[in-house]
Structures are given as structure tokens and as C-alpha cells.
Structure 1
Amino acid sequence: MRFILVLLFVLGPLGPVNAKIMKPLTPEEQRVILHKGTERPFSGKYENHHESGTYHCRRCGAPLYRSSDKFDSGCGWPSFDDEIPGAVKRVPDADGRRTEIVCARCGGHLGHVFEGERFTPKNTRHCVNSISLDFAPAEQPVALVSEIVPVGGTAAVPAGSGAAGGGVELPSGPAGAKEQGEKRAETAIFAGGCFWGVEYMMQQVPGVISVESGYTGGHVPNPTYQQVCTGRTGHAEAVRIVFDPAKTDYETLAKLFLEIHDPTQAGGQGPDVGDQYRSEIYYASPGQRAVAERLLDTLRAKGYSVVTRLTPASVFYPAEAYHQDYYERKGTLPYCHKYTRRF
């Protein structure tokens, strides 16, 4: 058996690979390249790297990407909208939703590929771990790829501003008055993994007026996505939902929230790991707290080991514009959020 395992390592999944070209890997490199792990966003040396040249496989040295195909997606990992022909292979990810990319020469894990995000005209994003790459500078400089996505946020809005218990004014003017009369909307704030998926799921609920992705629960004012991803600001990726209480209610939204993510997973959600992806309910009134407590107790009574936190709502900072309506713009479905009936 040991001989077979060694043979598979040397041959690789795609054919013979000369053992002499296989470079020794550190334990962290092995975790990512051999065992398909993921480095922390914004931690890799090539995430904000703009030198002209070619990116090679860290394991076998095969050329994979040209610097002219690299762009800034704001995701926290090096992004490329094209690969060197034949250098990268696509395979179904073990999660059943995403597409993994590996070195076509040695099978080393690189990351994942996404299509339809409209970051560049090629409409493709290879999201690659820096640790899976080496870089060879070009002899002659070439023009840098311009940044595709602007980085920046919008002003923070304190949770519950405008009305007690999280209420906000509905649209004003003749159209708003005609549709809504003198009613007041209410707000709900939930954190359950990547805010893209929670946002999309909540947008499908009749009676929901708007859903906004953002950051809350931390101690750094006006945080950026890059700062939140370090795990040092204390913020969670969250969504703020404005809804019409005449068409839906807080309990309906809270139930759905607990059924579209895993409230028993600590320290992340699905493949996204980190405290910023924690499960948390931010209540804006005593009534919301009572509803949330009852629902969490119901799940515990059914045998779920719930880790969802229950916290008073505080300042909510809207995320950068490129995070808003992500799946609506992409035209696809969330990869780490799906409905599971629990109530």
C-alpha cells in the first residue's frame, strides 16, 4: 500500500511527473496544495502583487498564469480572468457546488473558478491561493492590469435609526404613499456565513423591501472588507433586511435564517472559515429578542447543538458596492446556503 501511495504522489492524477521537479512543501503549503485547504483572505503575498511576469505552480513549477490576466477583484485572493492554455484543469469540487481548479501537470490544488460575475470582459475569475504559486519576473516590463473593482464603503447607519424597535420610514412621495400609506417598515439583522448567500435568500421573501450586505458587531469604525477578513475587527458579515410588517413578520424571517444556514457550525459556514462568518442574530427590540430566543430553544429541544449567538443590534456598516446584489448580478445561486427545513 505504501508503494502505491508513493507511486500516485509521483505520477500525479494526470500522468507521469518527474519526481526531480517536485519541490518540497512546508506543512502549510501541503495543507493547501495537497489537502485542498484555503489560505486566509488578504494574507497571501500575491494578492496585491502587480509585477510583470508569469505565475507558476509552487509544487511542480509549471507556468499557469500571466500577469496580464491578473486583476483586482477585491475578494482577498489573486484573481485571473484567463490561464495559460492547457495549464489549469477544472474539476467538480467536493462541496458539489463550486468548480475546483488544479495544476494540469501535477494536480496541485490552486483554488476555484467562477463565471458570470462580470468583473472583466472575459467574465471569468480564477480565485487562486497565493501559497499555490511562485512568480517569475518578466525581462521587459508590461502595462499593469487596471483595477476592476473600486474599494470603499458607504456611511454607517445605526441599527434601529428612525424608529423604535428597528423601524424605518417607508419610501416617501406619491408612489410610496400610494403603495404603503402611513405604515412603517421594520428591520432585521442576521449573520450566517458569507453575506452574499443570506442576502440572496432573504430577497426572495414576499414583503421584504430591501436587503443590504454589511458588517456589524465589531469594534473598528467604518471597516473595509479587507479589515474584516483579518478577523481582528470583531465584525461579522451580516445582512440588514427592511420588511413590510403587513406582508411578513420577524418570526418568518428568523425561521428562514435558521433554515438557510447551519446554526450548529461554529467558527464559519460551509467552506468559509473565520469568526466573521459566525452565526448570529442581532435583535433590535425586546420583541425580536423574545422571538429569537424561542426559535433557538425550539431547535435545541429538537436535538440541534445550536451555536447561534443572540446580540443587541449595534452600528451596521454597509459593505462595498461590489458586494451588493452579488448573486442577482451574477445570475447564479449561492454555493454555501441552501434551504433545510428545521421547523
Structure 2
Amino acid sequence: MRIRVERLQEIYKKFALSYGANDADAQVFADCLLRADLRGHNTQGIGLAPYLEELFASGVTRFGQAFEVVKESPATALVDGHAGVGQIISTRAMSMAIEKAKAVGIGLVTVRNSGDCGMASNYAIQAMEQGLIGISMSTGPSLVAPWGGRDARFCTNPLALAVPAGSKDPIVLDMATSACSMGAVVLAARDGVLLDGKSVVDGEGVYTDDPSRVILNNMHRESRMSGALLPAGPKGFGMVLLVELLAGLLSGERSWENETVATSQERPAHYSQTFIAISIEHFHVPSAFLAAAERMVETLTGSRPAEGFTKVRLPGTGAVDKEDDYRKNGVIVREEEWEMLVAMASRLGVEVPAA
């Protein structure tokens, strides 16, 4: 089904306002969820809303928290988010990285004590839209086992990269560093389909492609895990570790002082992020870089496809056209996710805009 952009955005904004956001923060929050929907990452937009409601209702995440700069240099900063809202903290942190990159060539801001920031590419795109290269990454609740193990020790540790490519669609990589995102596994369990390869490990330590052996209830608000998600093989495990080191450890969010990485009711997940902005002009002539990026895209997309493929596609290809279509004709969402959003709005006393 398709839902008008304005309708979704208004619900998201009213949702934030109902939990104490000021108007500016509510707009940022709504824009972040909507951008995920517009790019086809519904699990980080409409599908994420019920989980965020749980965080807000329990007081784990709160609007209006301090954005404390703990340490700072011309190119770097360490921020404490004081359990604020991930979308707000991350937008501010990337803005800080962008200003540093414009001044000295590169900006790196790492955040501890943050919240779930949703779609990681929101913030990489934020830098790309200003002509910079953007990189963002995040940690969170323990969902992923180390390669060769069975117990959850890491989040899906999403990683995003956004690079301008002149007249071509920007190159936008947005991926979980696990074999599958948690949202994809929940949806597969809900739909009763198998995963693409053995991407999860069940409670008995068996690697499997059956999500129902890990997700014990298929509705998002009530899903429970038995077992864990897996990295995409040993190389994928390396990517999981990269994000863990550059976000979790560098920020000081996680110390690994004990085997299970202790959490509490007030802090059930270790959310941390790192944002990097790179100014092209500090390294190369921008027009030459963009021309080279255009030629790279043309060369790769013009390559002969292999058997079973129609063409070579780059990360982010077609996303601009999809966003244009969704803005004109409405965002495609799953019916049960729309029903969950309407139910959530009803619980909060939030009016759902007319179709």
C-alpha cells in the first residue's frame, strides 16, 4: 500500500512531540524516519517506530538531553549524548564533523551514551549533500554472534558511506555488517520465508537459514530472540569489529570489562556512533574528483553482466528516482506496519492525518 509522504511525516513529528520533543527536534526526528522510508529502508523508518516507542515509554531514550562535548580538537570531538534520541544526536554530531572537515579537511566525531539513530546513511548523506564524503557507523544492542560462536556479543553495527558522483546518482552504501539486518530477519520470520544462506544461529548453536528458529514471535513489538544473527562470514566479522572498535571502543561506550558486556534496565543497549566527514577540496580538485567518479560509475554500470544478472548496479543506484516517485505517489509500506503505526498513534492520542 502507498501512504502520502506528508501523512507519514506528520505522524512521526506528532509522535516525537508527544514524548516531549521541541518543534525543531521533532522535525529532525520525522525527517530521519521519512528519509529511510523514501530510500526503501522501511525497517529504519515506519518499521522502527514501535521499537522507538518502547525506548521512549520506558525512559531509556529521552528528548531534550544535553549534547555534551567532552573533548575537542580542530578535527575531532568526543560527545556524550546523555541517553538522548539517536536521530537528534547523530544529526548534530555529523554537522559538527562537517564544519571541522570544511575547516581542516576532515572531521571525526564519536558519540557515547547515545540512542538508536535509525538509518546510518541519513548522516553520511547529510555530509554528501554539502559536497563532502560522509561516513557513519553505529553500535547498539547485542544481536550478533562472533564468527564461529553462538552467543550475541555485537549489534548489527551498521556502516554507511555517501560520495557525490557528479551528474550520476551519488554512491550510497548502507549496510549492516552482519549477514542480515535485524529488520530483515524479523520480516522473513513474519513472512515464513527462509533467509539467503545460513545467516543466523539458533539457541542450540546451529547455523541456519530459518529465521523462525531465532525470532520466537514475528510481530515487531513482541519479537524475542533465541540465538543470534551472524556476521557475513569471517570477512564480515572483520567489518563488525571495525565498527565496534571505531564507535564502541573509541567513544568509551564499551570497555569489555566482562564477557557479557553488562547492561541494565536503564541502559539495556550500548548505543554509540562515529561520524566522519571528508572535504574533497583538501585532497583533490573537486571537479576532477567528480568527473572521475562519473567515469567510474559509467564504466562499472556499462560492464557486461554475468549470468543471472541484467546489469551491474552500484550502491545507491535508483534511490533518487525512488524518492521522487514516493514523494509524488506515496511511500510503499507493508499493510501490517501501517496498522502498527496507526495503533501506536492511537495509544499516544496522536491524530492520524486523513488520506
Q: Give the structure-1-normalised TM-score.
A: 0.25
Where relative contact order (Cα < 8 A, 6+ residues apart) is larger, the structure is: 2
More helix by share: 2
More strand by share: 1
Q: Give the structure-2-normalised TM-score.
A: 0.25
